[in-house]
Structure 1
Amino acid sequence: MANEEKIHPGENDQQITLIDDKGNEELYNVLFTFDSEDYGKSYVLLYPEGAADDDDVEIEAFAYTPDENGDASSGDLFPIEDDDEWAMVEEVLNTFLADDDMQ
């Protein structure tokens, strides 16, 4: 199935502002980024700024173009529209969350 993915935890100061369809801005923290050899893309997973550890948090995921430093914070974000690609991203997220629970 998928190749081994290299997960890069988000830096404390790595944040992205998302703008919804109505023009509202919301600040998100980077949970982690990873690259997929199968799809030839980089991905970023985000959660809302100010979310408490015990809150159920909706995590946003995007493919992205890294900036000159390889970061997602100032590169372009792209929606993930392919079902198989979504399944791969969810699998990586579930592995990340399971590993995080073990620590």
Structure 2
Amino acid sequence: MAEKNENVQPGDDEQLITLVDDKGNEELYKVLFTFDSEDYGKSYVLLYPESASDDEEVDIQAFSFTPDDNGDASQGNLFPIEDDDEWDMVEEVLNTFLADDDDAE
């Protein structure tokens, strides 16, 4: 069961993370939001490309992470999500976040 969104923290516009792909290419990402899951005992971060324009459809990257001293995510402590049930929970939180964001506009 997905968590309620009281733990969802919108990303700080200044919070950027560099991801490196399998070929060694670096791309800068902005934090969309972070949230905690009591069910999985983890924190999660959702990212989108920094270069994306507002009207562009983008691929959102999701990772679990170990918060740093400020409670933020950094590229050194991101972990892939490999469990299907965990992915389903993350997608449900993302869909709720996007629906709430559409309602706010």
Alignment of 1:19-30 (within 5 A): 19-30=20-31
Amino acid at match of 1:2: A
Is 1:67–1:75's contact at 8 Å kept on the other side of the alignment?
no
Q: CA deviation at 1:9?
A: 0.2
Q: Using a 3 Å threshold, how does the CA distance of structure 1 residues 96 and 37 change in structure 2: closer, same or farther? A: same
Structure 1 moving runs of 4+ over 3 Å: none
Higher relative contact order (CA 8 A, sep 6+): 2
User: Percent identity of the aligned residues?
Assistant: 75
Normalised TM-score (structure 1): 0.96
Residue 59 of structure 1 is matched in structure 2 by 60
Normalised TM-score (structure 2): 0.94
> Take 1:65 and 1:56, find their aligned partners in 2: how far apart are those partners?
28
User: Number of residues paired by the alignment?
Assistant: 103
Is 1:63–1:77's contact at 8 Å kept on the other side of the alignment?
yes
Structure 2: tracts of 5 or more residues without a match: none
Structure 1: tracts of 5 or more residues without a match: none
Superimposed CA distance per residue, residues 51-79 of structure 1 (whole angstroms, 9 cap, x where no aligned partner): 11110100000000110110013550000
Over the aligned positions, Cα root-mean-square deviation in angstroms equals 1.1
Residue 7 of structure 1 is matched in structure 2 by 8
Normalized per residue, the structure richer in helix is 2
